[in-house]
Amino acid sequence: MPQLSANLSMLFTERPFLERFAAAAQAGFKAVEFMFPYAFSAEAIQAELQKHQLQLVLHNLPAGDWEGGDRGIACDPARVEEFRAGVAQAIAYANALGVPRLNCLAGKAPAGVDTAVVRQTLVDNLRFAAQALEQNGIRLLVEMINTFDIPGFYLHGTNQALALLDEVGSPNLQLQYDVYHMQRMEGEIAATLQKQLPRIGHVQIADNPGRNEPGTGEINYAFLFRHLDAIGYQGWVGCEYKPAGQTEDGLGWIKALT
């Protein structure tokens, strides 16, 4: 049975952020994750984690102006200094909160910049971040995002990401493999998970179409959960989906599919 982590950026959003920890614990989750902690103090988040006996398994590096449309800045040569300052900020939060892994969003390819420069910028930034995180005992992940939801997102396929990992050349860099995003881009989910298991540091889930609860779409999650167990995946599975209604009303999939 997979270890499920509630993504508090997507689940329990009927409540203010700091109240979602209690809701996740009441729903039976032992771990949580979210996109960004930076609007809150580490002390406030830590208090909720301790109060509800939750483990924080993941958050992202700063990704620029999210409300303004940024979806990461790691591939933008004009924002290298900002990216590296964000790495330091993320490490400070991760150290305070005991987070074992941080995810990097590459971002949209900046307009008018040569593709070779975009790629080299991302390689250099990932190499820098992987080394900085390794010195703090934190694993760096990088995630592929589908280009239907985020047109222009630079890193959007498994083979592209694996080539990137090879070029960065750090044992401290792995993939964050989001089943929903990769179902939309390429399929072959089970075979890819099995073949690339040593290079996958975290798995996230949602169904397709709609990005709603597992069991609402075309992905056979009952099979996929058994498959993850069979191939020996030991990590967390992040529930990063959009509830079709109230979060608690849609949690029946956990018992039905796992």
CB neighbourhood size of 68 (10 A): 6
- Among this protein's residues, is 143 annotated catalytic? yes
Catalytic residue among 33, 48, 143, 213: 143
Catalytic residue among 33, 48, 213, 240: 240
**Residues annotated as catalytic (active site), given as ranges:** 143, 240
